[in-house]
Chains A and B, each alone.
Chain A
Amino acid sequence: MPRWFYQLASPRWCYQITGRLLPGFSIVALLLLLGGTVWALAFAPADYQQGNSFRIIYLHVPSAILAQSCYMLMAVAGAIGLIWKMKVADMVAKSCAPIGATMAVLALLTGAIWGKPTWGSWWVWDARLTSMLILFFLYLGVMALNSAIESESTAAQASAVLALVGLVNIPIIKYSVEWWNTLHQPATFKLTEKPAMPAEMWLPLLVMVIGFYCFFAVSLMMRLRNEILRRERRSGWVRDLLLSK
C-alpha cells in the first residue's frame, strides 16, 4: 500500500489536512455559486420553448449529479471501511449520507416545481423520477442504520452493506431515460458528445456543477471533522487540541 493510503487512514492527519483545505474550498464554492446563480438567473438566455422556467435547470442538474456522485463516494468509502477496517472511511461514508439526502430532495423538489409548468404535473411515476426517489430512501436508510445501531463499527458495517446493495440503483437512474419511455429529457452533459444547448446556456450550468461539488467538499469536510473529534475524543492529540484553545 502506498504511503498516502496510510495517511488517509490516520484520523489526526485527516483532521489537519481538512483544516487546511477548508478555507480555500469555502471561498471557491461561494464565488462559483454566487457567480453561477447570477449568471443563471439574469444573463443566460431564456429557452425558446420553456421560457424562464428553464432556469430551474441550474439547480436541478447540479443537485441531481451531486446526489449520485455523493452516493458513489458513500458506497466506495463504506466498502473501504468494510475491507480494510479503516475508521476514517467509515466516517466519510457516514458524513456523506445527510448531504446526499438533501441533494436528492433538492433534485426531486426542483424537478417537481419545473415539471408543473413544463409537463403540467408536479409528479409522474416515471422511471427517472422513481429511481431518484429510491435514491433518497436509500440515503434515509443509511442514516437510520447509522443512528439506530449503538456500536460504531456495526453501524458502519450495516450501512456500508446497504449502500453497496443500493449501488445498483445508480446505473438505473443514469440509463432510465434511455431504457424506458419517459417525459424526462436525456442527460445535459455527456462525456462523449458536446451538449445539445448553446454555450451561453451550458457554461453557467458547468459553473454551478463545479460550485456544487466545492460546496459538497466543504460540507463533507466539516461533518468529517466533527465525526473525527467525536470518535477520537479519548486520544491524546484531541485532548491537546481542545485544551490548547
Chain B
Amino acid sequence: MSQQFIQLVVSGLAVGAVYALVGLAFIMVNEATGVVNFATGQMVAIGCFLSVSTGIQMGLPLGPAYALALVAMALFGIVFYAVVFRPLQDRPVVTVIIGTVMIGIVIQNSALMTWGSVPFRPRSPFGRQVVDVFGAAISAHALFVIAVAFLMIGLLYGFIYRTAIGARMRAVAQDRDAARLMGISVDRMFVLTWVIAGLLTGAAGILVGPMWFADVNMGDPIALKAFAAIIIGGFSSVPGAIVGGILVGLAEMLGAAYISSAYKDGLVFLVMILFLLVRPQGIFGERIGQRA
C-alpha cells in the first residue's frame, strides 16, 4: 500500500514536472508578449523528435545529442517569433489563437512527414535502471526528470529575478510602452522570450521521450494538461505553473488509482473549469488578466 503510494507519487511528480515546464513556456510567452500559444504542444513534440534525430538517427552520445536538440529548439523559437508572432502581434486575441493553432497544424504534419507515424523509443541517460526508494521500485529516469525540471525552473527563476536582462524582460511584461521609453529593446526581449519558450518545451520533449516514446501526435494531450495546470496554478504566476503542474500530475496518477481510470482526464478538466468559475486567477494568481 505505502509502497504503491510512493510509486504513484514519484510518477505523478515526474509527469507533473513535465507539465510544469510546458506550463512555464505558456506563461513566459503570455506574460511577456500577450500571446496564448496553442502550438506549445507541437513544440514539445518537435523537441522530442529533435532528440530522436540527434540521439538515434545521428547516433550521437546523449550529452551532445541533447545539447544540439536544445540549440535547434532555441533557433526554432526565433523562427516562430519571426514567422508567427511578429506578423500577428498586434492582432486581437482570437486571431492570435487561431494563428497559433494553424501553425501547430503545420508543425505537426511537417513532423509526420519528416519522422513518420511509427513511434520511436529514445534512450534515457540512465538506461532502464530502477532504483529502490523506501521499498518502491522507481525508474531512475523519473527521478532524473524531476531533478532536471526543477533545476531548469530554478535557473529560469534566477535569470528572471536576479539578472539585468531578466529585469528588462519583466519591465517589458509589465508595460511595453514604458519599457520602450526607458530604452529597452522590446523586440530583443520578445526574441529572448521565444528562445526561452523553445528551450523549455524542448527540454520537456527530451525528458518525456524515454518515458512515453516519441510520437508525432504527442503534443496536444500534453499541452491540454499543461493548460489545466496553469489555470489551476494561476495564469500569470511562475510558482503557480509549478504547483499546478504537479497537482495535475498527481491527480492523474492518484485519480486513476483511487477514483476512476477511465474518467481521470475528465476529472482534471472538471477541476480546471471549477477553478475558472470560482477562482479564475488560480491558486497563486494576483490579478485577472483582462488583456482581451
Are A and B genuine complex partners? no
Which residues of B does A touch, CB under 8 Å? none
Which residues of A does B touch, CB under 8 Å? none
